């Protein structure tokens, strides 16, 4: 991505639309975007990419429905002030901890107390539902984390860890490798293990 942005910096509505198009509107698309963000090396970003990242995270926190952004919604959006690099790194760190706890370690991750707490509610017909109580006003990091929780919950069966490189990715059907390069590495390793005589010939230079 270049430093020159496709949408006008002075037009918040166009920035929101551009970010939404980059991310996609479905839960799967948003979760895929989150996973790419978690693995992204922020130290390599240029000035324009930092601004795009802020836009993307803000739009992600809006949790726009699959049918897209309605004009009435655009008019009500209150665009935040510029978010510093430190805050964006904090968001990445929180999301990475959540993904690693749930996917890598198959463990437990609690909603930070600054965000709120879950509760159970039993209606008059006997059904029990879960609810969420916000603790005060939610900051930028909190709203992004909550959006990630919802995206992860909606697509939880598709999130896996690559059995080759251990990268967390969004799987298609029974996919176990995050990319063709990992699948090829595994096939090559299995072939060389089954045919050890090929190891030397593969690494030795041709004899003239």
What percent of the chain lies above the pLDDT cut of 70? 74
Q: Which two tokens stand for residue 67?
A: 């049918």
Could you tell me the residue ranges of all domains in the chain?
12-111+137-173, 177-208
- Residue 76 pLDDT exceeds 50: yes
Listed in sequence order, the residues at least 6 apart from 17 whose beta carbon sits closer than 8 Å to its beta carbon are 7, 69, 74
- The reported pLDDT for the residue numbered 208 is 44
Q: Which two tokens stand for residue 144?
A: 């992004």
- The reported pLDDT for the residue numbered 4 is 46
CA distance 180 to 189: 14
- Residue 177 pLDDT exceeds 90: yes
Q: Which two tokens stand for residue 53?
A: 């990242």
Instruction: Determine the Cα angle at 28 with ends 116 and 79, to 5°.
Output: 55
Cβ burial, residue 171 (10 Å; 0-12/13-18/19+) = middle
């Amino acid at each position: 991505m270049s430093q020159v942005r496709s949408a006008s910096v002075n037009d918040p509505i166009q920035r929101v639309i551009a970010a939404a198009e980059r991310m996609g509107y479905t839960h799967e698309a948003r979760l895929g975007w989150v996973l790419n963000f978690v693995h992204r090396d922020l130290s390599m970003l240029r000035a324009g990419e930092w601004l795009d990242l802020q836009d993307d995270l803000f739009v992600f926190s809006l949790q726009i429905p699959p049918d897209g952004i309605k004009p009435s919604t655009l008019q009500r959006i209150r665009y935040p002030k510029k978010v510093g690099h430190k805050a964006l790194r904090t968001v990445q760190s929180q999301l990475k901890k959540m993904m690693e706890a749930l996917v890598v370690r198959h463990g437990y991750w609690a909603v930070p107390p600054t965000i709120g707490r879950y509760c159970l509610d039993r209606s008059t017909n006997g059904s029990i539902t879960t609810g969420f109580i916000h603790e005060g006003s939610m900051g930028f990091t909190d709203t992004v984390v909550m959006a990630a929780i919802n995206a992860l919950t909606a697509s939880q069966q598709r999130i896996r860890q690559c059995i080759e490189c251990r990268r967390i990715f969004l799987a298609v059907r029974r996919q176990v490798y995050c990319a063709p390069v990992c699948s090829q590495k595994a096939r090559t390793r299995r072939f060389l293990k089954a045919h050890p005589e090929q190891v030397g010939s593969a690494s030795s230079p041709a004899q003239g």
